[in-house]
Amino acid sequence: MTTVVTSALPTSDALRARVRDALAAVGARVDLGEPNAGGVTASTPINGDVLFTVPESTVEQADEAIAQAAEAFTAWRLTPAPVRGALVARLGRLLVEHKADLATLVTIEAGKITSEALGEVQEMIDICDFAVGLSRQLYGRTIASERPGHRLMETWHPLGVVGVITAFNFPVAVWSWNTAIALVCGDTVVWKPSELTPLTAIACQALLERACADVGAPAGVSRLIQGGREVGERLVDDPRVALLSATGSVRMGREVGPRVAQRFGKVLLELGGNNAAIVTPAADLDLAVRGIVFSAAGTAGQRCTTLRRLIVHSSIADDVVSRIVSAYRQLPVGDPLADGTLVGPLIHETAYRDMVGALQQAGAEGGEVLGGERVDVGDEGAFYVTPAVVRMPGQSEVVHLETFAPILYVLTYDSLDEAIALNNAVPQGLSSAIFTLDLREAERFCSAEGSDCGIANVNIGTSGAEIGGAFGGEKETGGGRESGSDAWKAYMRRATNTVNYSADLPLAQGVHFG
Ligand code: UN1
């Protein structure tokens, strides 16, 4: 039924050699320990093996990293923004040079197919370009004053140390969204990557340190700490961390948000999504199916923007589902490093168990499950699956959960009101889409009575956003906005300045005093 591209997965020795080559190429100096040496394990979902271990930061080292970033901030904030931009420009060049090296590490650690891994590095290059331009455009406003001889204006100033916590599924791009913008804004960064992707983080840090050396910026503008919860908690609780930007689960955000707020720090949260696409009778179905298949099965369903719910008009539901199922049958599943593979592995066994559990629950709630089987790749420790389509009889509990796997629930509707209500009926609010050539339907979906998500697309899927827009979502997604547009404002503090250049002292609101 499904084509498996590779009959034999690469051996761990072959993968180790590729990791060593990529790390050497980017100039990373790191002690790669034996798989059982202790520390943070660097494993690969390609065959499920541990490849190396890397040193885990102690709590003291995490504190020291924050101290170094705080120290570097005192000078960095006074460096002119366009000069700060030159550092990010250099980083962007290095990323262009090492695009393939970094993409190889992303594929080995996160299991992304090569084309998507290259795309993720391209996203880093794009955000660097954006940030360099931004470094000359950190504009404040001049506001009309109600008093004669007065000028009212806004100035934007660097915020401080930005703590960045990232997830396994975009191990490099999400760091770069935060870091490129934070650096041009005059902030310094301490990064705690996912424990599942320590090697890509080491490579990114090495490239940034090279960029710092090349342009003469202090290396302390960016620090990397590796480890689990204890290390991450230092960023959450340390008052020197002015902004905590955290990407991960709703559970994590629920804990982190109030803790940072308790000390009056700022948070930027990118949490779960449960993204839907509406397909109306006015859709171009060929285009819709292509968009749906990429968004639902791409990255093996492990993007926060992955399409998880299809809301399709009942008159076309059978047709749309059969087109998706036949497209799914042709998706090559297997080694993400191999040419032609479109669906790589799930990140680990727990992800697979969660997928099995969700499909069982869907079945128990009346769903008809198509696909979603484990694919035998000849290695027990690796978890490859065919993407699943599940026709649901209506709303149910499982449909409201985000399961980080390629499961597409199909619901039907009869009126656009009903479809929009279904789109908005989940607790998460990241991405959404409508497929229609009807202008009225499209505009309603994007209007105030339409999708309640941070991203509402027309005639493209829910995933694969460009960096130029602000990225993020509402409700349990956390409300944060990263990357393009004016997302930079979260990384700076605003001062309102009233300047009196007259010889009088008129009070505002006509108040007389003395
Ligand atoms: C994520 O899954 O955490 O829009 C980020 C997209 C990518 C970013 C996804 N540009 O799918």
pLDDT in tens, 336-357: 999 999 999 999 999 999 999 9
Tell me: the pLDDT tens digits for 273-325? 999 999 999 999 999 999 999 999 999 999 999 999 999 999 999 999 999 99
Half-sphere exposure of 307 (CA within 13 A, CB side): 36
- 3-class secondary-structure state, position 493: strand
Q: What's the mean pLDDT in 214-220?
A: 95
Q: Can you list the domains of the chain with their CATH numbers?
A: 58-271+478-494 (3.40.605.10), 275-467 (3.40.309.10)
Q: Is the pLDDT of residue 373 over 60?
A: yes
Is residue 270 among the annotated active site residues? Answer: yes
What secondary structure, in 3-state letters, does 59-96 show? HHHHHHHHHHHHHHHHHHCCCCHHHHHHHHHHHHHHHH
Answer yes or no: is the C-beta of 112 below 6 A from any ligand 1 atom. no
Answer yes or no: is the C-beta of 127 below 6 A from any ligand 1 atom. no
Answer yes or no: is the C-beta of 169 below 6 A from any ligand 1 atom. yes
- Exactly one of 270, 402, 441, 476 is catalytic; which is it? 270
Answer yes or no: is the C-beta of 331 below 6 A from any ligand 1 atom. no
Q: What's the mean pLDDT in 475-491?
A: 98
Q: What's the mean pLDDT in 72-77?
A: 98
* Å from CA of 72 to ligand 1 middle: 30
H or E, element range at 499: strand 492-500
Per-residue pLDDT band at 335 (split at 50, 70, 90): very high
DSSP letter for 136, please: T
Give me the residues paired with residue 470 across strands. Answer: 483
Q: Which atom of ligand 1 is nearest to the CA of 273?
A: 2
Tell me: the pLDDT tens digits for 33-47? 999 999 999 999 999
- 3-class secondary-structure state, position 176: helix
Pocket probe for ligand 1: among 116, 178, 303, the residue whose CB has the most ligand atoms within 8 Å is: 303
Q: Is the pLDDT of residue 422 over 80?
A: yes
Strands 150-158, 492-500: pairing is antiparallel
Per-residue pLDDT band at 8 (split at 50, 70, 90): confident
Answer yes or no: is the C-beta of 465 below 6 A from any ligand 1 atom. yes
Tell me what percent of the residues of the chain surpass a pLDDT of 90: 96
Pocket probe for ligand 1: among 271, 471, 477, the residue whose CB has the most ligand atoms within 8 Å is: 471
DSSP letter for 491, please: G
Helix, strand, coil share of the chain (percent; to 5) = 40, 20, 40
Answer yes or no: is the C-beta of 463 below 6 A from any ligand 1 atom. yes
* Å from CA of 300 to ligand 1 middle: 13
Q: Is the pLDDT of residue 169 over 70?
A: yes
H or E, element range at 156: strand 150-158
Q: Which atom of ligand 1 is nearest to the CA of 247?
A: 3
* Å from CA of 303 to ligand 1 middle: 6
Nearest CA to ligand 1 atom 3: 304
Answer yes or no: is the C-beta of 170 below 6 A from any ligand 1 atom. yes
> Tokens 């087109």 appear where?
323
Answer yes or no: is the C-beta of 320 below 6 A from any ligand 1 atom. no
Nearest CA to ligand 1 atom 6: 464
Q: What's the mean pLDDT in 249-263?
A: 97
CA-based Rg of the chain, rounded to a whole angstrom? 24
Answer yes or no: is the C-beta of 186 below 6 A from any ligand 1 atom. no
- Report the pLDDT value the prediction gives residue 378, as an integer from 0 to 100: 84
DSSP symbols for 339-380: TT--B---SSHHHHHHHHHHHHHHHHTT-EEEE-PEE--S-T
Tell me: the pLDDT tens digits for 39-68? 999 999 999 999 999 999 999 999 999 999
- Report the pLDDT value the prediction gives residue 170, as an integer from 0 to 100: 98
Q: d(Cα 401, Cα 427) in Å, to the nearest integer? A: 9
If one counts every other C-beta atom within 10 angstroms of the C-beta of residue 397, the result is 10
- Report the pLDDT value the prediction gives residue 400, as an integer from 0 to 100: 96
Which token pair is 121?
Answer: 């590095």
Per-residue pLDDT band at 395 (split at 50, 70, 90): confident
* Å from CA of 504 to ligand 1 middle: 55
- Report the pLDDT value the prediction gives residue 3, as an integer from 0 to 100: 67
Give me the residues paired with residue 163 across strands. Answer: 190, 244
Tell me: the pLDDT tens digits for 91-114? 999 999 999 999 999 999 999 999
Q: d(Cα 130, Cα 253) in Å, to the nearest integer? A: 28
- Report the pLDDT value the prediction gives residue 514, as an integer from 0 to 100: 86
Q: What's the mean pLDDT in 164-169?
A: 98
Task: Name the E strands within 374-454.
Answer: 374-375, 384-385, 388-391, 407-413, 428-429, 431-435
Pocket probe for ligand 1: among 463, 466, 482, the residue whose CB has the most ligand atoms within 8 Å is: 463
Q: Is the pLDDT of residue 426 over 70?
A: yes
Q: d(Cα 508, Cα 205) in Å, to the nearest integer? A: 50
If one counts every other C-beta atom within 10 angstroms of the C-beta of residue 94, the result is 20
Q: Is the pLDDT of residue 1 over 80?
A: no
Nearest CA to ligand 1 atom 1: 304
Contact 196, 105 (CB under 8 A): no
pTM across the whole model: 0.97
Which token pair is 248?
Answer: 């991960």
Pocket probe for ligand 1: among 106, 304, 347, 481, the residue whose CB has the most ligand atoms within 8 Å is: 304
DSSP symbols for 324-338: HHHHHHT--BS-TTS
